């Protein structure tokens, strides 16, 4: 950008150069400097030009790679500076004029013209150190000849052709960047949620994405997570997919799933992103019985509230509905749950009328009552 700015200042006032530079950055090649991912526009243009080189100069392209100077490495500065400093001065000024008149697509034609007029010399090189020197001498005494060749020899490279390639390459690049970003975030999430493997994160996210509502964003990280959101209905569908047994009791379970959704929706926005979903999902899928019991408590009661027998009974039943996927009929297990709650409270002696959750949890943990009972229940 500084090279272009310096060139503009040679021919106009500072204010004129400023507004001309603004026009370049904001209107002519916005994605090269100011919008979206850093230098994304330039990278996409290089991929397009590399593909065009493969079409028109496949032997030259292969030779450049063999001598250690692939096309994209050589030509990246061309598109960033409009060839200023990389081809003879008069030719570069003509290119700058054409960019203002016709737009940035002329850069592809000029680039192909440069290769056309230098390919014979480049093919004689055994190493790539002299390639840039050859470019700087191209059509030095006949800059108009370079421009004429660019437009006459490559007139099949139309605006529509370039636009089609641009959309294709941009889509491929966004997919690649998003996949890279997703893998990095999955690795970070797997450290926070070690019970879920990296490959499992990908499968879970794939199902999440199928239902998620998208918000428009240009940031890859945001598009990967923060802009993919689910509402309560989609949350329920996801849990039904991963825990099919829940759907058989959908009328009874939906109020519970609504409470789980509210618990996961930390910002109370009636929408849940992937990380918030995983916070709840991991406990349901791989959490210990005590983690699951804590989850049930957190969606029902406050930490200061005393726990009555009826409240404990409610928590145990909700825990059962969320986690039990066996074949024993509900009525039969319901009786066993009632007996468990009754026996437990009988063993609490004088504390049963003023029991805090912490006291109840400590009692269950110390004697392994909940864990032992749950193992028997699931075996049954």
How would you write the pLDDT of the chain (380 residues) with one tens digit per residue?
789 999 999 999 999 999 998 888 888 876 665 555 556 777 888 889 999 999 999 999 999 999 999 998 888 888 888 999 999 999 999 999 999 999 889 999 999 999 999 999 999 999 888 898 999 999 888 989 999 999 999 999 999 999 999 889 888 888 887 788 888 888 888 888 999 988 899 899 989 988 887 654 444 444 455 678 999 999 999 999 998 888 777 777 888 899 999 999 988 889 999 999 999 999 999 988 888 888 888 888 876 777 777 888 888 888 888 877 666 666 677 787 888 888 777 776 555 556 777 777 787 777 677 788 777 766 65
pLDDT at residue 54 in the model: 95
pLDDT of residue 96: 92
Domains in the chain: boundaries: 2-157, 173-287, 301-380
Residue 364: predicted pLDDT: 77
pTM: 0.61
- The sign one gets for the Cα dihedral 267, 269, 275, 280 is positive
Report pLDDT for 349. 58
Class of domain 2-157: mainly alpha
**So what's the pLDDT on residue 62?**
95
């Amino acid at each position: 950008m500084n090279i272009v700015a310096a060139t503009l200042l040679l021919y106009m006032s500072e204010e004129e150069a400023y507004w001309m530079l603004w026009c370049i950055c904001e209107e002519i090649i916005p994605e090269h400097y100011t919008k979206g991912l850093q230098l994304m526009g330039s990278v996409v243009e290089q991929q397009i030009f590399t593909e065009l080189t493969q079409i028109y100069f496949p032997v030259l392209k292969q030779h450049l790679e063999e001598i250690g100077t692939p096309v994209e490495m050589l030509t990246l500065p061309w598109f960033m500076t409009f060839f200023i400093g990389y081809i003879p001065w008069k030719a570069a000024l003509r290119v700058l004029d054409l960019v203002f008149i016709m737009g940035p697509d002329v850069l592809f034609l000029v680039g192909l013209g440069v290769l056309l007029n230098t390919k014979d010399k480049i093919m004689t090189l055994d190493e790539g150190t002299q390639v840039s020197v050859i470019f700087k001498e191209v059509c030095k005494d006949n800059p108009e000849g370079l421009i004429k060749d660019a437009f006459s020899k490559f007139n099949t490279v139309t605006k529509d052709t370039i636009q089609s390639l641009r959309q294709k390459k941009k889509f491929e690049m966004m997919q690649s960047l998003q996949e890279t970003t997703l893998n990095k975030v999955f690795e970070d999430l797997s450290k926070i949620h070690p019970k879920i493997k990296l490959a499992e994160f990908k499968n879970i996210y794939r199902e999440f994405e199928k239902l998620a509502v998208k918000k428009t964003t240009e940031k890859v990280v945001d598009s990967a997570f923060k802009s993919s959101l689910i509402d309560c209905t989609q949350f329920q569908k996801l849990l039904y997919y991963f825990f099919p047994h829940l759907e058989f009791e959908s009328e009874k379970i939906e109020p519970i799933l609504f409470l789980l959704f509210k618990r996961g929706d930390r910002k109370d926005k009636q929408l849940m992103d992937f990380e918030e979903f995983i916070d709840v999902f991991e406990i349901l899928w791989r959490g210990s019985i005590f983690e699951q019991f804590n989850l049930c408590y957190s969606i029902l009661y406050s930490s200061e509230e005393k726990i009555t027998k009826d409240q404990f009974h409610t928590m145990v039943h909700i825990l059962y509905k969320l986690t039990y996927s066996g074949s024993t009929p509900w009525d039969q297990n319901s009786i066993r749950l009632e007996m468990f709650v009754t026996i437990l409270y009988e063993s609490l002696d004088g504390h049963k009328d003023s029991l805090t959750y912490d006291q109840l949890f400590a009692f269950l943990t110390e004697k392994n009552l909940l864990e032992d009972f749950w193992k028997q229940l699931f075996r049954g």
